[in-house]
């Protein structure tokens, strides 16, 4: 029976009449969802060109031939709070519970280059992540954790070069050479301008720092992922799935262009680029999003940049479940949301995954909540069966149709950004910011009108809900960190520290000098993050965003 014959049948007519009383279903990106998907939707679909096999170009079905039949994704829970000592205990707990990689959350002063005793840091020390002021804190953070045995992801952007330097020197002090290190720094400043806000310097010097890291790591730390180009924060700010793909890949294009302009060969660095995506509640759209992004990036790298190595064309990505979907009301409901999002990431072929905790709409997660979040991944891995075969949804009429639709929409956005002169120009003109803000506004209107149901928040409410037990950060953290800094400055070789800072400032004033060796010298002499950023602020200036109307 064809789709046309089915639609004219008695049963289909009855269903259609009932459906008329319901609103038309659409994905977050505006794709209308058909009642039924059949082979007719894909009669012109080239399975060999668009699907192929896992581990083969264009990697729609995954970047490895065996995917999870070879090994599971890395279970990498994002954690960090208060002091390095307290975060170190949480890391060891998570590793004991079966976590397979570390992921570091830094506090706001660390992210924007202020020491804990700076007046600008008052009230924010250790609140949304761990406070790191110098190499001493990083040494404490990873005390007892062999850095040649774990891979570490660090969610850090404007100060990425400094935190990477701290990590390299901490490893040196453990006797671990740089070539043994495995991990990722986020190092994605463009999405900070577009969606998040933890920038320091203007775009040009920020891009210089990023390409300096590309160049340094390609020679000295070959196993390190030098950037994690983030769609996560773009989605958290309110974008659609199609915008998440498009704006993330447009930023990726800008980084590749900057590196090539700096004299790097695309195949020397592209294999260490990685990506970071969001996993939302719309299970099938999210699966299709990951597939579309993988296929699109492979074509961009091959056709636009002339990459020759297959690894240069592979979109490798970490996923985090969607913090913006979590509700403060009935927080246990968030466990179910995160489970759906976990399935989306795994069915979409993620390389590593962080699952959010049930109480994160209210506070940093408790130990019990973190354990449940990790157990969610483990149950999906070991009990659900979704990882028993490679790419189980391939060939689904619905999935392939959604994948094509998202790829087409993302390409249209990328073409528009290209016409504007690329991602940096699009951000400077406020284009990405406006598109994200409009999407966020439209979604919020749907929630407030009741058109979009959020269980427990605007529907199925509970009166007099009992508040959960929450984690509280000791307000004395800032005082303790300030005291550590006072002792550090008393005991380090201040003459050597000042000489290294002066050398960094002089190098920053040049046009072509790679700054990583100078930052490493500063790290070894226990210069603080604030001291190094103050030097770079003098050399580069600070970014002031335009008003987006």
Which of 109, 101, 102, 56 minimizes the C-alpha distance to 82?
A: 109
Is the separation of the CB atoms in 32 and 26 below 8 Å?
yes
Q: Which residues of the chain have pLDDT under 70?
A: 1, 6-7, 10-23, 546-549
| 390 lies in the same domain as 248 | yes
- The reply to whether 316 and 354 lie within a common domain is yes
Claim to verify: residue 307 and residue 392 sit in the same structural domain:
yes
Q: pLDDT for 290-345, tens place per residue?
A: 999 999 999 999 999 999 999 999 999 999 999 999 999 999 999 999 999 999 99
**Final residue belonging to a domain, choices 406, 433, 449:** 449
Category of 62 on φ-ψ map: left (φ > 0), alpha (ψ -120 to 50) or beta: left
Neighbours of 21 (CB within 10 A): 6
The pLDDT score that the predictor gives to residue 20 is: 61
Q: Are 325 and 437 in the same domain?
A: yes
Distances in whole angstroms, Cα of residue 313 to Cα of each of 301, 353, 394 = 5, 21, 20
Coil, strand or helix: which one is 472?
coil
Q: Which of 395, 430, 449 represents a domain boundary (last residue)? A: 449
Query: How many C-beta atoms lie closer than 10 Å to residue 250's C-beta?
Result: 27
The pLDDT assigned to 2 comes to: 74
Please indicate, yes or no, if residue 426 is contained in any of the structural domains.
Answer: yes
Residue 116 lies in a domain: no
Does 386 lie in the same domain as 243? yes
What is d(CA 22, CA 455) in angstroms, rounded to the nearest whole number?
A: 19
> Do residue 420 and residue 484 come from a single domain?
no
- Domain match, 445 and 357 both: yes
Specify if 316 maps to a domain.
Answer: yes
Residues 436 and 404 in one domain: yes
Task: Kindly state whether residues 181 and 313 are assigned to the same domain.
Answer: yes
**Which pLDDT belongs to residue 74?**
95
Same domain, 256 and 322: yes
Q: How far apart are alpha carbons 37 and 431 in whole angstroms?
A: 35
Domain termination site, one of 431, 449, 467 = 449
Angle, alpha carbons 293-298-301 (nearest 5°): 120
Pairing type for strands 317-321 and 273-279 reads parallel
Same domain, 370 and 484: no
Q: Is residue 353 part of a domain?
A: yes
From the number of C-beta atoms within 10 Å of its C-beta (0-12, 13-18, 19+), residue 503 rates as middle
CATH number at residue 211: 3.20.20.240
123 in a structural domain: no
| Spatial CB neighbours of 341, under 8 Å, sequence gap ≥ 6 | 279, 280, 281, 286, 321, 322, 325, 355
74, 100 in Cβ contact below 8 A?
Answer: yes
If asked whether residues 55 and 35 sit together in one domain, one would say no
Give domain status of residue 61, yes or no.
yes
Look at the chain and report how many structural domains it folds into: 3
In a domain, 320, yes or no: yes
| Residue 207 covered by a domain | yes
Question: Parallel, antiparallel, or unpaired: how do β-strands 224-225 and 182-185 relate?
Answer: parallel
For residues 417 and 419, give the distance between their C-alpha atoms in angstroms, rounded to a whole number. 5
Q: Which residues pair with 105 in a beta bridge?
A: 155
Question: Tens digits of per-residue pLDDT, 246-260?
Answer: 999 999 999 999 999
Position 1 scores a pLDDT of: 67
C-alpha dihedral over 499, 170, 262, 543, to 10 degrees?
-70
pLDDT at residue 49 in the model: 86
Domain coverage including residue 522: 477-540
Q: What is the DSSP string of 15-36?
A: HHHHHTTSPPPB-TT-PBPPS-
- 182-185 β-sheet, strand order: 224-225, 182-185, 151-155, 101-105, 74-79, 352-354, 317-321, 273-279, 227-230
């Amino acid at each position: 029976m064809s789709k046309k014959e089915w639609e004219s049948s008695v049963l289909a007519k009855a269903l259609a009449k009932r459906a008329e009383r319901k609103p038309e279903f659409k994905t977050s990106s505006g794709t209308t969802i058909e009642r039924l998907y059949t082979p007719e939707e894909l009669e012109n679909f080239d399975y060999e060109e668009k699907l192929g096999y896992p581990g083969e170009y264009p990697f729609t079905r995954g970047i490895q031939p065996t995917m999870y039949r070879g090994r599971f994704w890395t279970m990498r829970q994002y954690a960090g709070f208060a002091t390095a000592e307290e975060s170190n205990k949480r890391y060891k707990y998570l590793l004991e519970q079966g976590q397979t990689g570390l992921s570091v959350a830094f506090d706001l002063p660390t992210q924007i280059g202020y020491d804990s005793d700076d007046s600008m840091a008052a009230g924010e020390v250790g609140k949304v992540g761990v406070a790191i002021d110098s190499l001493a804190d990083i040494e404490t953070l990873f005390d007892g954790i062999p850095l040649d045995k774990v891979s570490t992801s660090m969610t850090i952007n404007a100060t990425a070069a400094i935190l990477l330097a701290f990590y390299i020197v901490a490893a040196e002090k453990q006797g671990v050479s740089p070539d043994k290190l495995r991990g990722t720094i986020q190092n994605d400043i463009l999405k900070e301008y577009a969606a998040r806000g933890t920038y320091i310097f203007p775009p040009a010097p920020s891009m210089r720092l990023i390409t300096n890291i590309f160049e340094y790591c390609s020679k000295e730390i070959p196993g390190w992922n030098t950037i994690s180009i983030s769609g996560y924060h773009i989605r958290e700010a309110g974008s659609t799935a199609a915008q998440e793909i498009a704006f993330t890949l447009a930023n990726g294009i800008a980084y590749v262009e900057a590196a090539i302009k700096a004299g790097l060969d695309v195949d020397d660095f592209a294999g260490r680029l990685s990506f970071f995506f969001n996993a939302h509640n719309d299970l099938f759209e999210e699966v299709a999003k990951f597939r579309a992004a993988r296929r699109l990036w492979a074509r961009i790298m091959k056709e636009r940049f002339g990459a020759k190595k297959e690894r240069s064309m592979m979109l490798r990505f970490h996923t985090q479940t969607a913090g913006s979907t979590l509700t403060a009301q009935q927080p246990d409901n968030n466990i179910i949301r995160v489970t759906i999002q976990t399935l989306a990431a795994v069915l979409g072929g993620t390389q590593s995954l962080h699952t959010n905790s049930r109480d994160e709409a209210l506070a940093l997660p408790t130990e019990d909540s973190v354990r449940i979040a990790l157990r969610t991944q483990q149950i999906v891995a070991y009990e659900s069966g979704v990882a028993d075969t490679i790419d189980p949804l391939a060939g689904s009429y619905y999935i392939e149709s959604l994948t094509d639709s998202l790829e087409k929409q993302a390409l249209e956005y990328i073409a528009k950004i290209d016409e504007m002169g690329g991602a940096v120009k699009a951000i400077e003109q406020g284009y990405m910011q406006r598109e994200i803000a409009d999407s966020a506004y439209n979604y919020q209107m749907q929630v407030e009108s009741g058109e979009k149901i959020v269980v427990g928040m605007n529907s199925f409410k509970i009166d007099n809900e009992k508040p959960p037990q929450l984690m509280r950060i000791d307000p004395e953290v800032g005082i303790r960190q300030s005291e550590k800094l006072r002792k550090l400055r008393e005991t380090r070789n201040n003459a050597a520290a000042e000489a290294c800072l002066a050398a960094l400032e002089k190098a920053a004033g040049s046009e072509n000098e790679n700054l990583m060796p100078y930052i490493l010298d500063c790290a070894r002499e226990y210069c603080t993050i604030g001291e190094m950023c103050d030097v770079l602020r003098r050399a580069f200036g600070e970014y002031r965003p335009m008003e987006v109307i």
